[in-house]
Structure 1
Amino acid sequence: MRLDGKVALVTGGSAGIGAAVVDGLAAAGVRVIVHGRDEERSAAVAQRVGGAVVLGDLAVPGAAADVADAAIAVHGQVDVLVANAGAGWSGPFTGLGGDELDRLVTLDLLAPLHLVRCLLPPMIERRNGHVALVGSVAGRTAVAGEAVYAATKAALDIFAESLRLELRDTGVGVSLTVPGVVDTGFFTARGRPYDRKRPRPVPAAVVARALVDGITNDRAEIWVPGWLRVAPAVRALAPGVYRRLSARFGEQVVSR
């Protein structure tokens, strides 16, 4: 897909992976619409790339459709959707309140689906576009203490695969980026910082470069770092061994 001159909406674009993706897309000649909740931070990111801002809390039911409408209103269309906004929560499942559970599922799963629902039909009509979903290795391997987050990412994973099959020969691509530990504020925001020495967090810019490359070359899956593919492979081929290792070493160390 030629990116020069295209219009992209990046959710969660005010910080972390999203902000790095905004920079990468803008460098490729894309007119970027930065979505965020914080007006000041979102405006700062948009200003440095000459982009536009759309505000909205995607954890609120119905907000995704409003964000999609506002994004379309900026340039009249959206050619690329980067569904990046998300959040985690760390702790035992029994300690998660019902309201927080609903918020996580709405933000991490329902919002991307609704954004795709709103933005996909015009892409199909133009026979050109791309849906870039940001998952997590947690959706492939499971993470103790992050059951709901892992479940939403697993659902997003199979949605991406199903949608890609559905959109064959339409001119619209679908990619899923699967990052591991990334050097962002994600871990602090989930309630517990990342405190392990290995694996070392990957810079957000590295994930962003891989994601943008995936859009350009219509890659189905983008793993960052690539060696993470080993974990789900072991789980699939030797589930007993995988579970014993998981129990021995405790919480999985790979998560967005």
Structure 2
Amino acid sequence: MVTSGEIKEDRKRLHAVIDRRQGRGLSYAVSKERKFYSRLFAGIVLLPFLPQMGYWAAKVSHETGQSPFFDNGFDYEYQEGGHVVRRHYGKLKIASLESGTVEQELAVRSGGGHYEPVTHDDARITKTGRVMRPKAHDESTQFLNMISGQMGLVGLRTGKVEFKLNILANGDSEPFCTYLSQLRKGLLPGFIPVHVTCPDTRRIPVERRLWLETYYAQYFASFLNDCQIAWHFIRHRSEVLR
């Protein structure tokens, strides 16, 4: 169990990095670099999976009689420069439930930021879905989401790291996942949305987004590390995608 003292030390260390790298110039540059690497590796890794993704999409389309892809996303907003910015976070996914609706897919999410996947014995899952889900084939469209700029290859996978509630000065709270707590749990990065938290829909403040970008610049701004993360995904796809 991570203590509050460890969390404070982690935050102090990371804020020191942010203080040294303040400014939108760095934030924007790092964001562009992260998206570039994400798209580069998404394109490389997508190539061997394209036939597989096409196969499952065709099976779902034949079985359900509808489009196999649906937008498992949501609208969100955040403040930047004193203005409220409204955006849509879109995430294409291959349908594995009978109707393939966003409502059914989101219905399996429980409170507290935890994600409980539908078991392959669930009555709503299609015949093809029972084969797809254990290996996360329904998530293979993540590569397309990365190329479109909605997802990133490098980052914290909040659904797989225990949430730390960081009580802010104004009384609000937000999920607080640290690099050190990730190491303590033996977790490696997976896919994350570029601008929002997942699996919950709370917006990320500008400071939080800068924190994530600084995290990337400090630990993963090297070509070799990105290669290692891509290789980890290929070997442990079903674990990383969930």
| TM-score normalised per structure 1 | 0.28
Larger Rg: 2
Relative contact order: is structure 1 or structure 2 higher (C-alpha 8 Å, sep ≥ 6)? 2
TM-score by length of 2: 0.29
